[in-house]
Structure 1
Amino acid sequence: MASIVQFENVGLRYGTGAEILSDLSFSLARGSFHFLTGPSGAGKTSLLRLLFLAQRPSRGLIRLFGEDIVTLPRDRMPLFRRRIGVVFQDFRLIPYLSAYDNVALPLRVAGVDEAEIATAVNEMLAWVGLGSRASARPATLSGGEQQRVAIARAVIARPELLVADEPTGNVDPDMAGRLLYLFEALNKLGTTVIVATHDVHLLERVPDARTIRLDRGRLDDPAGIVRTDIARPLPRRPLR
């Protein structure tokens, strides 16, 4: 399978400080599932920022969807970002919008008809167990509920690449497993998934996934992170 992500000798530093990431070279196949692990301070969030185009590298080459993003003109960035779903560790929900409108946002930006949006958003909120909370604003939701809204927003448009930073950090183990099941379902439709996590138990739930481990800004065993597999049908089991 063709690679959806390619890093070649990538380094990242902020300002004039030491490199946060050094000499990263790897590729990820379309439709693959990866966990990103490593100790605190290893550079996981910085690597994710490169993947969802919040940061450009200090050196090296990055290709996403077959294009060099280091030299990509800024006016093309918005269209590229629409192909990427992001689950932020701090949620980044829009506080004055309801759960429904937060989840609907990517579809509205893409110009989807409101009738289609209503069907998709209501199904997704039911999928993550928040069908009765559609009108609630973020401030009235628990941390775990906000996390589920953020995840629903990230996956609603079925992105080609999903990047998730500690997506299960604010939910109980049962809900963590259910959310991981949602990521697996999206992956089986062809989305490439990268989940940064400290929870080693999550790794056991997706035995076919590969692990990208960072240690002090460098890859540990870069040869072992490429996986190619075939998309499978989406299981139709909603979260309760």
Structure 2
Amino acid sequence: MAAIVQFENVGLRYGHGEEVLRDVTFALAPGGFHFLTGDSGAGKTSLLSLLHLAQRPSRGVIRLFGADVVTMPRKRTAALRRRIGMVYQDFRLIPHVSIADNIALPLRIADAAEQDVREAVGEMLAWVGLAHRAEARPATLSGGEQQRVAIARAVIARPDILLADEPTGNVDDAMADRLIQLFVSLNRLGTTILIATHDRQLLARVPGAQTMRIAAGRLTETTIGARPPLRRERA
């Protein structure tokens, strides 16, 4: 099975500083569930920014969906980026609009029909258990509720890959379990998942996931779980 993500000897530096990522090489299979672990400052967020096409590497090769994104013109990366959902650690919700409108944003940017938007938002709100808070503003929600809104917004456009940066870092254990189950349910529909976390205990909640560890900008450990990638079940 061809890899959905390939990094080959990738390095990243900001400006003229030292490299924050060094000789990073790995591949992700489609439909897999993956963790990226490491201490704060190890390079997890920088690696996610490359995957989300927010940055380009200083050197090396990155292929997403079989395309070389390093040499690709920037205007062509927009279509690829729509196939990648991103859940940010700080949520990045728009404070002055409802959570329903926050979730709808990716579809409205894509000029989806308003009836389709309303139906999709309703499904997402029910999926994350927040249908009763559809008109609430983000500031009135708990941290766990805001994280669920961020997840719903990231997946409403049905991305092939979902990236999450410390998605359980600001919630208690019970909410962390609930959030992980949302990611697992997405993975069972075929979405490739990559969760960056410094919490090693989180890994035990998804037996068979692939684990990559990063330290000082280098991948130091890769463990492939026994569970095979799940096949996409979308209609």
Shorter-chain TM-score bucket reads over 0.9
Displacement of 1:168 in angstroms is 1.3
For structure 1, the 5+ residue unaligned runs are: 235-240
Aligned residues: 234
Q: Distance in 2 between matches of 1:92 and 1:225?
A: 32
Displacement of 1:155 in angstroms is 1.4
| Residue matched to 1:33 | 33
Q: Distance in 2 between matches of 1:49 and 1:226?
A: 28
| Residue matched to 1:237 | none
Q: Distance in 1 between matches of 2:13 and 2:227?
A: 29
- Divergent runs of 4+, >6 A: none
Q: Distance in 1 between matches of 2:103 and 2:224?
A: 35
Q: Report the CA distance shift for 1:222/1:23 in structure 2 as closer, same or farther (over 3 A).
A: farther
Deviates more, 1:220-229 or 1:65-74: 220-229
Is 1:121 paired with 2:121?
Answer: yes
Q: Tell me, yes or no, if the aligned pair for 1:34 and 1:225 is still in contact at 8 Å.
A: no
For structure 2, the 5+ residue unaligned runs are: none
Tell me the amino acid that sits aligned with residue 35 of structure 1: F
In the TM superposition, 1:63-102 aligns within 5 A as 63-102=63-102
Is 1:141 paired with 2:141?
Answer: yes
Q: Deviations over 1:76-114 (max 9, x none)?
A: 122111100000111111222210011011122233322
Displacement of 1:123 in angstroms is 2.1
RMSD of equivalent CA atoms = 1.9
Q: Report the CA distance shift for 1:126/1:224 in structure 2 as closer, same or farther (over 3 A).
A: closer
Q: Distance in 2 between matches of 1:141 and 1:162?
A: 23
Q: Distance in 2 between matches of 1:5 and 1:69?
A: 11
Q: Distance in 1 between matches of 2:45 and 2:219?
A: 14
Q: Tell me, yes or no, if the aligned pair for 1:24 and 1:219 is still in contact at 8 Å.
A: yes
Q: Distance in 2 between matches of 1:75 and 1:113?
A: 24
| Residue matched to 1:229 | 229
| Residue matched to 1:11 | 11
Is 1:200 paired with 2:205?
Answer: no
Q: Distance in 2 between matches of 1:69 and 1:88?
A: 22
Q: Deviations over 1:53-74 (max 9, x none)?
A: 1110000000011101111111
Q: Percent identity at matched positions? A: 67
Task: Name the TM-score, length of structure 1 as normaliser.
Answer: 0.91
Q: Tell me, yes or no, if the aligned pair for 2:208 and 2:225 is still in contact at 8 Å.
A: no
Q: Report the CA distance shift for 1:191/1:61 in structure 2 as closer, same or farther (over 3 A).
A: same
Q: Deviations over 1:115-169 (max 9, x none)?
A: 2222221221122121111111222222222211111101122210100001112
Q: Report the CA distance shift for 1:63/1:226 in structure 2 as closer, same or farther (over 3 A).
A: farther
| Residue matched to 1:185 | 185
Q: Deviations over 1:6-60 (max 9, x none)?
A: 0010001111111100001111111111001011111001000000011100000
Q: Tell me, yes or no, if the aligned pair for 2:207 and 2:225 is still in contact at 8 Å.
A: no
